[in-house]
Amino acid sequence: MSQDIFVVVEHLREQVADISHVMLAGARQLSGSTGGKVMAVLLGQNTQGLANSLAADGVLYVDHPSLAEFTSDAYQLALAGLIQERSPRAVIFGHSSIGMDIASGLSAKLGFPVVSSCRNFTADGKFVSQICGGKIMAEGELPAPTALVTMVPGGYKAEEGNQPPAVETIAAPALDNLRISIKQYIEPDTSDVDISKEAVLVSVGRGIQNKDNIELATELAEALGCAVSASRPVVDQGWMPTTRLVGKSGKRVKPKIYLALGISGAPEHVEGMSDSQVIIAVNTDSNAPIYNIAKYGTTVDMFDLLPVLTDKVKQAK
């Protein structure tokens, strides 16, 4: 059994996903306890150039037309033989729709256990996972011989490699007669404001209670000269359009200031905003997971705070 740590790189449209850099940072810490190398696993077609930004000791690159776009069965077939052959100590996936799809399928196929929602690793190689929406942290030993791990953002900052790692090209297995293929990408509406380019965001969550209360956040955002964004529950209710959604199924944002109003901090939301420079949380629940990543916070009722804060901003201008 090898002591290497494999990181399965997520990428789309010739861009490496931020969660991939977070996973590589976590793998670097884990490899310090195992004594192995950090090996990025890059699947695709004509995507070897993406390896240049990966902070890994090496890259295992599999090139095949069936890997040009992500499909679960193609990725599972390509990874299964590689994992069995190399026997890494752990294989890290993003805790995303892609990563969870691959990890669960490989677990059933290979019989390896899955450690889900891992936030970080300890100095002695234990995993720390978020459960109950991030309110409880569970710590344990990584199962042997090979553990499959899905990682959430928040425990590490994304980092990029300083120099291109060595790339080893791996022959793809037979990838014929796949059940699923990508026919078309349907692009979202781009007529609305692009929240990923905003320097300041006022973001509302379930705590806003109803659609009418969003006006309070809008007034503050107008005073600040910024946009309003939202978490999944607000968009699911139809109170804001999907173009304002922050999180795993929405936009990834990196504003200078992210004001989170009534947002609990579920992993799916944190994945989209954890790289904000300054996170300010307003939530009456002092145990809300959002406080794990916030630099500043208050448990005051937002409905008492927002009118006063808006007036103060207008006076300051």
What are the start and end residues of each CATH 3.40.50.1220 domain in the chain? 195-316
Q: Map residue 87 onto helix, strand or coil.
A: coil
Instruction: Give the pLDDT confidence of 178-207 residue by residue, as tens digits.
Output: 888 888 877 766 678 899 999 999 999 999
Can you give the pLDDT at residue 162?
Answer: 66
Can you give the pLDDT at residue 154?
Answer: 79
DSSP 284: S
Could you count the other beta carbons within 10 Å of the beta carbon of residue 71? 18
Looking at every residue in the chain, the average pLDDT score rounds to 92
Can you give the pLDDT at residue 182?
Answer: 83
Q: Tokens standing for 244?
A: 């304002």
Please report, for residues 16, 52, 146, 267, the alpha-carbon distance to residue 141 in angstroms, rounded to integers and kept in the order given: 30, 32, 12, 22
Instruction: Give the pLDDT confidence of 150-178 residue by residue, as tens digits.
Output: 998 878 887 766 678 999 999 999 888 88
**CATH class as words, domain 5-170:** alpha beta
What are the start and end residues of each CATH 3.40.50.620 domain in the chain? 5-170
Residues of the chain with pLDDT > 90, as a percent, come to 78
Can you give the pLDDT at residue 299?
Answer: 96
Strands 227-230 and 278-282: unpaired
Kind plus residue range of the DSSP H or E element containing 63:
strand 58-63
Can you give the pLDDT at residue 283?
Answer: 97
Can you give the pLDDT at residue 277?
Answer: 94
Can you give the pLDDT at residue 155?
Answer: 84
Can you give the pLDDT at residue 224?
Answer: 95
Instruction: Give the pLDDT confidence of 114-136 residue by residue, as tens digits.
Output: 999 999 999 999 999 988 767 78
Residue corresponding to tokens 């796949």: 178
Mean pLDDT of 303-316: 95
pLDDT band at 295 (very low <50, low <70, confident <90, very high): very high
Using alpha carbons, select from 303, 293, 305 the residue that is nearest to residue 155: 293
Mean pLDDT of 235-263: 93
Instruction: Give the pLDDT confidence of 6-38 residue by residue, as tens digits.
Output: 999 999 888 898 899 999 999 999 999 999 999
**CATH class as words, domain 195-316:** alpha beta
Q: Does pLDDT of 271 surpass 90?
A: no
DSSP 278: E
Q: Map residue 188 onto helix, strand or coil.
A: coil
Mean pLDDT of 127-149: 89
Could you give the dihedral angle defined by the CA atoms of residues 221, 222, 224 and 230, in that order, rounded to the nearest 10 degrees?
20
| Lowest model confidence (mean pLDDT) among 66-70, 139-143, 190-194, 223-227 | 190-194
pLDDT band at 85 (very low <50, low <70, confident <90, very high): very high
Kind plus residue range of the DSSP H or E element containing 281:
strand 278-282
Please report, for residues 40, 44, 59, the alpha-carbon distance to residue 169 in angstroms, rounded to integers and kept in the order given: 12, 11, 8
Select the more confidently predicted residue: 89 or 183.
Answer: 89
